[in-house]
Amino acid sequence: MLDPRMTRLAELLVGYSTSVGPGDHLLIEAFDIPEAMVIAIVRACRDAGGHPHVALRNNRVMRSIIEAADDVQIDTWADHDLHRMKSMQAYIGVRGGHNINELSGVAPDRMQAYGRHYGKPVHLEQRVKNTRWCVLRWPTPSMAQLAQTSTEEFEKFYFDVCTLDYRRMAEACDLLAARMNRTDRVHIKGPGDTDLTFSIKDIPAIPCCGEKNIPDGECYTAPVRDSVNGVIHYNTPTIYQGTAFKNIRLTFEEGRIVDAVSEQNNDRLQDVFNTDEGARYVGEFAIGFNPYVLEPMMDILFDEKIAGSLHFTPGQAYEEADNSNRSDIHWDLVLIQREDYGGGTITFDDEVIRENGIFTVDDLQGLNPDALKD
């Protein structure tokens, strides 16, 4: 018998997040997760009248392939998977992992080649643009360690946060998207010397409430590419391409990162921002508000949704909120502005809309934690 929590999550992923219907082809890409969860999604897809397809992945095997693959091999791999992705109407990626640092130490040029030759054509260009997709992590003991909880306690948190009332969240988020759509100037202040200004004029705001990621809870747009000036000092540790970073501080002039410093793995940080010219410009600005996600755990699908947070993302812009920036990277870096993390404000056109992580204007009260929790 399947765990009823798995069944409920699978039904949410199939019925709400990806809206699988009769005749739809769904690709389930499963990285180191229990067979029972894959089976739950397969059954939910069939119950909806869809055709489930499954790709089972193993992160240690993936590392072994990427670290030694030349561009010809990656191109062949990408061609095969791109052909399959073009046949799909929907995609669910469930990503587990026994070691979050599994890709640590892979040569930067191989990680960049994997992103350029595989990740970009298969996922950024085809899956993101042409399927109804949803990506989520799977709870593991290593994630529980990062969250500083027991495995059982983390699993309870995981299913609570993944199956909350996303329809209610979506209704409240529409008002934030409307505000962002009529905003020109944004001013971010926060811990340390964070003092950043930019424009989001005429770039669409996109609500994210359980349709693309689980857990979810953000609304994103992008800055006008050359409008960013000032300093942002991220206070959330992060892992990117298998390498850990801490206390990243970026300085912008006319949109471009002119100085980048990390307390941890600073040389690798420079490699990431030297990937291409677009890596030094920002492709996304988003505000996070999931009421159950409060502490960073070095997993971006959770951390970017932290209540009272924002992320400001160097690299590729999304097509739905396009500022024309192009890059082989897309790195969501998170700043938490709650009082317990040093506070801060978000100002739209000279009006403070969030202070110390709490929305202060009347129309956005529905996005505060007390309003969103069941």
- Length of the chain, in residues: 374
Q: What is the pLDDT of residues 353-374, one digit of tens each?
A: 999 999 999 999 999 999 998 6
Q: Could you tell me which CATH class the domain 4-162 is placed in?
A: alpha beta
CB 67, CB 106: distance < 8 Å: yes
CB 106, CB 242: distance < 8 Å: yes
Q: Provide the pLDDT confidence category of residue 300 given band limits of 50, 70 and 90.
A: confident
Q: What is the mean pLDDT of residues 205-213?
A: 92
Q: What is the pLDDT of residues 116-125, one digit of tens each?
A: 999 999 999 9
pLDDT at 97: 80
Q: What is the pLDDT of residues 244-298, one digit of tens each?
A: 999 999 999 999 999 999 999 999 999 999 999 999 999 999 999 999 999 998 8
CA distances from 291 to 153, 210, 327, 335, 369 (A): 17, 14, 32, 16, 5
Sorted by where each begins, the domain ranges of the chain are: 4-162, 166-372
- Which of 219, 226, 224 shows the shortest CA–CA distance to 202? 224
Backbone angles phi, psi at 368, to 5 degrees: -75, 155
Q: SS3 helix, strand, coil % of the chain, rounded to 5?
A: 40, 25, 35
CA distances from 362 to 165, 172, 352 (A): 21, 11, 12
Per-chain mean pLDDT for the chain: 94
pLDDT at 304: 95
Report d(CA 74, CA 61) in Å as an integer.
14
Report d(CA 318, CA 311) in Å as an integer.
14
CB 273, CB 108: distance < 8 Å: no
pLDDT at 286: 98
User: What DSSP element (H or E) covers 155?
Assistant: helix 151-162
Q: What is the pLDDT of residues 89-139, one digit of tens each?
A: 999 999 988 777 788 888 888 998 999 999 999 999 999 999 999 999 898
Residues 261, 263, 267, 273: is their CA dihedral positive or negative?
negative
pLDDT at 225: 98
Range with lowest mean pLDDT among 6-10, 78-82, 96-100, 133-137:
96-100
pTM for this prediction? 0.78
Q: What is the mean pLDDT of residues 204-233?
A: 95
Residue 164 scores a pLDDT above 90: no
pLDDT at 54: 98
- Which of 137, 100, 97 shows the shortest CA–CA distance to 298? 100
Q: Provide the pLDDT confidence category of residue 160 given band limits of 50, 70 and 90.
A: confident
- Which of 121, 59, 44 shows the shortest CA–CA distance to 90? 44
